[in-house]
């Protein structure tokens, strides 16, 4: 999971009922974004992930078909802390609340791939880490993108640990195993 919002994109370019599978944001992440952000050799080391697209557990909006993606967004179940008193997400408030990069034009809310209250909305996370299960209209263009991927770490010459930088610019030297916890879940 990127530690900051990398860009602002609508979940879908048109206001319509849509699922993650058919969204313009999924197409952008696995097309234009991946091709600009990674070299061919780096792209070969991004694993294809089988994505389960669940219905919204609070409103019942349909999640759609499962997909196979190299780059994806997290779901409600991956970011939420509790459902029916059970902890099941693996992100805490500090990780959900994030800053934006120089490329992010506006806002610091970010999209999830899960539907919102209806099929013309998608769930989002606020700048303070609050999960908005009801979501926003899919064509809303101010929300950010925090791409997620599963990286094949068997080619260590391609990647090096860069540490982390918080939204206020302070460097934080987190042990590498702690930093990769999200990738391993």
Q: What is the pLDDT of residues 11-68, one digit of tens each?
A: 999 999 999 999 999 999 999 999 999 999 999 999 999 999 999 999 999 999 999 9
The whole-model pTM stands at 0.79
Query: CB burial class (10 A; 0-12, 13-18, 19+) of residue 133?
Result: buried
According to DSSP H, which parts of 14-157 are helical? 24-28, 34-37, 40-44, 76-79, 93-96
Tokens of 46: 């991004």
For residues 122 and 143, give the distance between their C-alpha atoms in angstroms, rounded to a whole number.
11
Neighbours of 172 (CB within 10 A): 10
Residue scoring higher pLDDT (81 or 133): 133
Q: What is the mean pLDDT of the chain?
A: 80
CB 18 within 8 A of CB 162: no
Query: CB burial class (10 A; 0-12, 13-18, 19+) of residue 68?
Result: exposed
pLDDT digits (tens, 9 = 90+) for 83-98: 555 545 556 666 676 7
pLDDT digits (tens, 9 = 90+) for 143-168: 899 999 998 877 666 666 555 544 44
For residues 23 and 124, give the distance between their C-alpha atoms in angstroms, rounded to a whole number.
15
């Amino acid at each position: 999971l990127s530690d900051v919002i990398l860009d602002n994109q609508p979940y879908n370019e048109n206001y319509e009922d849509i699922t993650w599978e058919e969204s313009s944001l999924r197409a952008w992440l696995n097309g234009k974004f991946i091709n600009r952000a990674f070299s061919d050799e780096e792209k070969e080391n991004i694993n294809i992930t089988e994505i389960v697209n669940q219905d919204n557990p609070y409103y019942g909006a349909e999640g759609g078909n499962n997909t196979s993606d190299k780059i994806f967004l997290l779901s409600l179940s991956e970011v939420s802390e509790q459902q029916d008193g059970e902890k099941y997400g693996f992100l805490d408030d500090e990780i959900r609340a994030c800053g934006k990069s120089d490329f992010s034009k506006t806002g610091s809310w970010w999209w999830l791939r899960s539907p919102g209250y209806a099929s013309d909305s998608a769930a989002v996370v606020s700048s303070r880490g609050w999960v908005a299960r009801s979501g926003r209209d899919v064509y809303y263009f101010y929300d950010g993108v925090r791409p997620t991927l599963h990286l094949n770490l068997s080619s260590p010459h391609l990647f090096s640990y860069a540490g982390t930088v918080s939204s206020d610019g302070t460097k934080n030297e987190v042990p590498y195993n702690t930093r990769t916890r999200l990738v391993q879940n």
